[in-house]
A and B are shown apart, each in its own frame.
Chain A
Amino acid sequence: MLELNHVSVEFMSDNNVLAVDDVSLRLLDGSRTAIIGETGSGKSVLLLAILRLLPPNAVVSGSIAADGEDLLAADSKRMQQIRGGIISYIPQGGGASLNPLLKVGFQVGEPLIEHRKYTKRQAFEASIPLLRRFNLSHEEELAYSYPHTFSGGMRQRAMVAMGIAAGPKIVLADEPTKGLDEKRVRMVADALDLIEDETLLCVTHDINFAKSVGRDICVMYAAQQVEFGDSKEVIGHPLHPYTRNMMAAMPENGMRYQESGFAPSHDSYTDEAGGCRYLNRCREHMERCAVTPPLFDINGHKVRCWKYASSN
């Protein structure tokens, strides 16, 4: 089980940036959760914070615990055991996430070298069935090839294989469908479906992907968690005005977004407690919204909006 309690991440520099603001999540074993939000909402930072892969100027507050073990307090040796072995990370597909000078089979099998003491040869051999499992054909050839010979979709699937190679209990997937076309997106969704036993936390900007991959959905906006619940509920009956707008804006729903500028926000989320973050774009704001709303719980469906204050 992975538990995040009031986790915040702040980057210290000339202007401090609050990338993640008070996110709490409880992921039971075997659960599959998708985090959706636009670019800059803080979702990727959250994943990296769990594994403590952020740069030195990032300050993480709150608590992050896996099966009761405090991850923020673990020493570096313990973190090395955890990364890839207990909690693993599937990077963004960009193309730069694999070392261009090392063969793919080695990189896919590398977690096994680290956590199961495999030799290089054994790692290569183990990578082949892993690649095959994720529907990469000609696996023997591919294992001995270099990343640049892979297409974007193939690379992403290879990285999924890499993520689960050492049998982690929790898998963190960071935007696994970025830049992929619909067919490849479905391939990645299928690939993630093949990971049945592990706990999955997947960050994405693609709502449909989130629906197919996650049983729960967490919506993030401006570094905050604004809604959380069962995915059918959140998508079918969204509560937060932002989520409502997001769902209404989807092509299949008729693109009926409310204007009030649904432009992606480039605001810098500095450390002001200045009321609800969605205030400037919300058509349903009230006077109360000048104060930051807490996360209200409505039968397991959580939402950060004053509209739901009385219904507890």
Chain B
Amino acid sequence: MFQRISKKIITAAITVFIVITVSFLMVRFMPGDPLVHLVGQERYYELLKDSPAELDRIAERYGLNDTLWQQYLSYLKSIVTLNFGIAYSNNQPVLDNVLNRMGWTLILSVPTFILGGLFGMVIGVIAGWNPGGRFDKIMTPAMLFLNTVPSNCIGIIFLVLFAFKLGWFPVNGMTSGGLEGLAKAVDILWHAALPLALMILFRTSGNFLLMKSSVSQIRNEEYVTTAYSKGLSERKVLFRHVVRNAMLPFVTSLCMQLGDLTSGSMLLEVIFGWNGMGNLFYTAVNSRDFPTAQLCFIISAVFVVTGNLLSDIVIAAIDPRIKEGLIEY
């Protein structure tokens, strides 16, 4: 089994490597002068007018006159030394910017992961155990609706309704400034309430659908009849046999949701003015601030790859058939 895990880790590492390479190639092969993208459009034209010699020196420094291969190697080297460049927007190190913002995104995405997982699992089991029952008939269409409606659409509606019209929640931003300690924490929570509520709703709906379909399928398996035939009560059959087996695909999905910790909330962050990594990525792409966009992308990819890797490992640990390599999933 360790063989298979190490193979998967290697694959994951290779994927990250490919991502890094792709982001390198995309910048280098952008239409137009790469120097423009490196330095930022405004500054480029400034320098072009005032001191073109400076431009040449920058080109030298960034190795733009080197061969592609040399550039690639020095790019790799800079990544390994965690030197991700300077952001165009505020001339701060990209790494600092991004890490700062990442924290804000995590404030939204971690509770979403936990609560969305819990709620979705619980109501999914309840609905799946009695498919076609009253609970199911109400929940499934509702959850289906939540799952299909684009997040920006409902986001705007929530914004209009709860923030503008009813004034229950602030319209924008993350804090109101000037607060300390507990008051600040509460204030942040108040600002986060709407986007957080939405994200949890969306995540719950997806988890619900998955768990429900899993449970209602498992319910019909022959070993469930066998369990009943041994005299187990409905509750025992549910918890000892059904939920345990239904968790398999659910846990897999849950691990993959870890990948969304940094990349899942972009639209909502933009709508609610939440300055997390998603918002940063968006503004960076819009303003062609490539160092920043690149790092956001790489970090997101690392999370996703790790999430997938984790889900592979976890499911192999839980399902004895996969552990022994008997089933390819």
- Let me know if chains A and B touch directly in the complex, using CB atoms closer than 8 Å: yes
Range of interface residues on chain A? 20 to 34
Rounded to whole angstroms, the CA-CA distance of A82 and B229 in the bound complex is: 9
Nearest CB of chain B from residue A141's CB, rounded to whole Å: 14
Q: Is B178 located at the chain interface by the 8 A CB criterion?
A: no
Which residue of A81, A84, A99 contacts B229 across the interface (Cβ within 8 Å)? Answer: A84
Q: Is A98 located at the chain interface by the 8 A CB criterion?
A: yes
Rounded to whole angstroms, the CA-CA distance of A76 and B231 in the bound complex is: 10
Nearest CB of chain A from residue B186's CB, rounded to whole Å: 44
Task: Let me know if A100 and B245 touch, CB within 8 A.
Answer: yes
- In B238-257, the 8 Å CB interface with A consists of 240-241, 244-245, 248
Task: Let me know if B319 and A53 touch, CB within 8 A.
Answer: no
Hey, what's the 0/1 contact readout for B8-25 against A, CB within 8 Å counting as 1?
000000000000000000
Rounded to whole angstroms, the CA-CA distance of A92 and B222 in the bound complex is: 9
- In A183-205, the 8 Å CB interface with B consists of none
Which residue of A51, A53, A94, A101 contacts B245 across the interface (Cβ within 8 Å)? Answer: A101
Residues in A neighbouring B67, C-beta threshold 8 A: none
Residues in A neighbouring B240, C-beta threshold 8 A: 102
Rounded to whole angstroms, the CA-CA distance of A217 and B109 in the bound complex is: 66
List the count of A-B residue pairs having beta carbons below 8 Å apart: 81
**Nearest-neighbor residue (CB-CB) of B223 within chain A:** A99
Nearest CB of chain A from residue B219's CB, rounded to whole Å: 10
Q: Is B221 located at the chain interface by the 8 A CB criterion?
A: yes
Chain B at the A interface: SS class: helix
Rounded to whole angstroms, the CA-CA distance of A115 and B232 in the bound complex is: 9
Rounded to whole angstroms, the CA-CA distance of A80 and B221 in the bound complex is: 19
The answer to whether residues A96 and B223 also contact, given A101-B319, A101-B320 and a CB cut-off of 8 A, is yes
Q: Is A110 located at the chain interface by the 8 A CB criterion?
A: yes
Q: Is B176 located at the chain interface by the 8 A CB criterion?
A: no
Hey, what's the 0/1 contact readout for B297-329 against A, CB within 8 Å counting as 1?
000000000000000000000111100101000
Rounded to whole angstroms, the CA-CA distance of A79 and B233 in the bound complex is: 9
The answer to whether residues A91 and B222 also contact, given A99-B241, A148-B320, A148-B321 and a CB cut-off of 8 A, is yes
Q: Is A277 located at the chain interface by the 8 A CB criterion?
A: no
Task: Let me know if A84 and B244 touch, CB within 8 A.
Answer: no
Most buried by B among A92, A99, A111, A159: A99
Hey, what's the 0/1 contact readout for A150-181 against B, CB within 8 Å counting as 1?
00000000010010001000000000000000
Range of interface residues on chain B? 20 to 34
Residues in B neighbouring A79, C-beta threshold 8 A: 231
Task: Let me know if A97 and B226 touch, CB within 8 A.
Answer: yes
Task: Let me know if A162 and B223 touch, CB within 8 A.
Answer: no
Residues in A neighbouring B232, C-beta threshold 8 A: 80, 110, 114
Task: Let me know if A111 and B230 touch, CB within 8 A.
Answer: yes
Which residue of B223, B225, B244, B321 contacts A146 across the interface (Cβ within 8 Å)? Answer: B321
Q: Is A214 located at the chain interface by the 8 A CB criterion?
A: no
Q: Is A83 located at the chain interface by the 8 A CB criterion?
A: yes
Residues in B neighbouring A98, C-beta threshold 8 A: 223, 226
Q: Is A88 located at the chain interface by the 8 A CB criterion?
A: yes
Residues in B neighbouring A162, C-beta threshold 8 A: 230
Most buried by B among A81, A82, A91, A159: A91
Q: Is A85 located at the chain interface by the 8 A CB criterion?
A: yes
Residues in B neighbouring A166, C-beta threshold 8 A: 230-231
The answer to whether residues A91 and B233 also contact, given A100-B321, A101-B320 and a CB cut-off of 8 A, is no
Most buried by A among B230, B232, B321: B230
Q: Is B228 located at the chain interface by the 8 A CB criterion?
A: yes
Q: Is B139 located at the chain interface by the 8 A CB criterion?
A: no
Rounded to whole angstroms, the CA-CA distance of A114 and B223 in the bound complex is: 16
Residues in A neighbouring B318, C-beta threshold 8 A: 101
- In A231-255, the 8 Å CB interface with B consists of none
Rounded to whole angstroms, the CA-CA distance of A89 and B230 in the bound complex is: 8
The answer to whether residues A80 and B233 also contact, given A91-B226, A94-B222, A97-B226 and a CB cut-off of 8 A, is yes
**Nearest-neighbor residue (CB-CB) of B234 within chain A:** A76
Which residue of B222, B233, B236, B326 contacts A96 across the interface (Cβ within 8 Å)? Answer: B222
Nearest CB of chain B from residue A218's CB, rounded to whole Å: 21
Task: Let me know if A81 and B223 touch, CB within 8 A.
Answer: no
Which residue of B225, B231, B245, B324 contacts A84 across the interface (Cβ within 8 Å)? Answer: B231
Task: Let me know if B245 and A99 touch, CB within 8 A.
Answer: yes
Residues in B neighbouring A111, C-beta threshold 8 A: 230-231
Q: Can you name 8 extra interface pairs (CB under 8 A) apart from A115-B231, A148-B320?
A: A48-B225, A80-B232, A88-B229, A88-B230, A96-B222, A99-B245, A114-B232, A162-B230
Q: 12 A-B contacts, Cβ less than 8 Å apart?
A: A48-B225, A51-B229, A53-B225, A80-B232, A81-B231, A96-B222, A96-B223, A97-B226, A102-B244, A110-B232, A159-B226, A166-B231
Q: Which residues of A are at the interface with B, using a C-beta cutoff of 8 A?
A: 48, 51, 53, 76, 79-85, 88-89, 91-92, 94, 96-102, 107, 110-111, 114-115, 146, 148-149, 159, 162, 166
Minimum-distance CB pairs A-B, first 8 = A89-B229, A84-B231, A84-B230, A83-B231, A96-B222, A146-B320, A99-B223, A80-B231
